[in-house]
Structure 1
Amino acid sequence: MTDDPFPPEVVAQIARHMNDDHAEDNLLIVRALGGAATATAATMSGMDQDAMEFTAVVDDIEVPIRIPFTHRLTERREVRSEASRMYREACAALGEEPTH
């Protein structure tokens, strides 16, 4: 048994949700918090207890982007609040009105 709260199957479920239901949010997060202001696409590619990872398209090239959480996550339920925080911070940084 492992102490990792984010085994591969859990990460895959979270990524599927983020990519299927929050694709536009991913792009805002990568543009504002990932240092890729000119990104034209972004998909969540992975995560661990310390950060969420994305693959972004910048100047027609796929690049990895890692965006740290505010603290080390120890439970799956914490991912939602961190993803929401990232989205709200990204909206504020880009002057966008959050839609959820």
Structure 2
Amino acid sequence: MSPSPFSQEIVDAVLRHMNGDHSDDNLLIARAFVSPDAETATMTGLNRNGGTWLVTSPGGASEAMIPWSAPVTERADIRREVVVLYDAACERLGVTPRPH
């Protein structure tokens, strides 16, 4: 993973938020972009190019980097790109997205 433009403090805050408040979204994103049979997904990192998730499926666990739609350089960009991934995952899986 390339160097992050964000401090460790920002990355840790995003990971706490995603894993604490949006675990269902993590799983939806993992099922759409990593493995349709994913059982769990935990966001483990991010950088300007994408987010990294630890995805567990019946075949085992592996880390996967899912690219953003555009490079992120500001903290607000992270939220925008996670929403883009969430919306794309909903579309790919035929799930009605919740309002943002």
Is TM more than 0.5 here? yes
Give the TM-score of the pair, scaled to structure 1.
0.90
Residues 50-89 of structure 1 aligned to structure 2 (within 5 Å): 50-59=49-58, 61-89=60-88
Deviations 1:41-94 (A, max 9, x none): 001000111010000101152210110011111101101110001001101110
Instruction: Give the SS at the match of 2:27.
Output: helix
Distance 1:28 1:89 in 2: 10
| AA at the equivalent of 1:5 | P
Q: Alpha carbon RMSD of aligned pairs, Å?
A: 1.5
Identity of aligned residues (%): 36
Distance 2:7 2:47 in 1: 9
Unaligned stretches of 5+ residues in structure 2: none
Give the TM-score of the pair, scaled to structure 2.
0.90
Q: Which residue of 2 aligns with 1:96?
A: 95
Q: For residue 33 of structure 1, report the CA deviation from its aligned partner.
A: 1.8
Q: Which residue of 1 aligns with 2:41?
A: 42
Worse overlay, 49-58 or 59-68: 59-68
Distance 1:25 1:85 in 2: 12
Q: For residue 9 of structure 1, report the CA deviation from its aligned partner.
A: 1.5
Say yes or no: does 1:6 pair with 2:11.
Answer: no
Q: Check whether the contact 2:69–2:84 (CA below 8 A) recurs between aligned residues.
A: no
Q: For residue 5 of structure 1, report the CA deviation from its aligned partner.
A: 3.0
